[in-house]
Amino acid sequence: MSRATKPHSRRVDQSRQNNLRIQSNNLVMTTTTTTTTTISRRAGLSRVRAT
């Protein structure tokens, strides 16, 4: 039983790490997209004000 459970627990740990990596990547992507959209909006507002 112990031999069979050890590799499974390792697989679970790997899957958890992968999930954490995916979550962190998603957070980075969302933050970058939001910042770019806000910057573009500000740029658009400044352009409108300039004209």
Residue 19, both tokens: 């999930």
Hey, where are the domains in the chain?
1-51
Report the predicted TM-score, pTM, of the whole model to 2 decimal places.
Answer: 0.45
> 50 falls in which pLDDT band (50, 70, 90)?
low
- 3-class secondary structure for the chain? CHHHHHHHHHHHHHHHHHHHHHHHHHHHHHHHHHHHHHHHHHHHHHHHHHC
Q: So what's the pLDDT on residue 7?
A: 65
b/e for 5-25, b at 16 or more Cβ within 10 A? eeeeeeeeeeeeeeeeeeeee
For 1-42, write each residue's pLDDT tens digit.
555 566 677 888 889 899 999 888 888 878 777 887 887 777
**Helix then strand then coil, % of the chain, to nearest 5:** 95, 0, 5
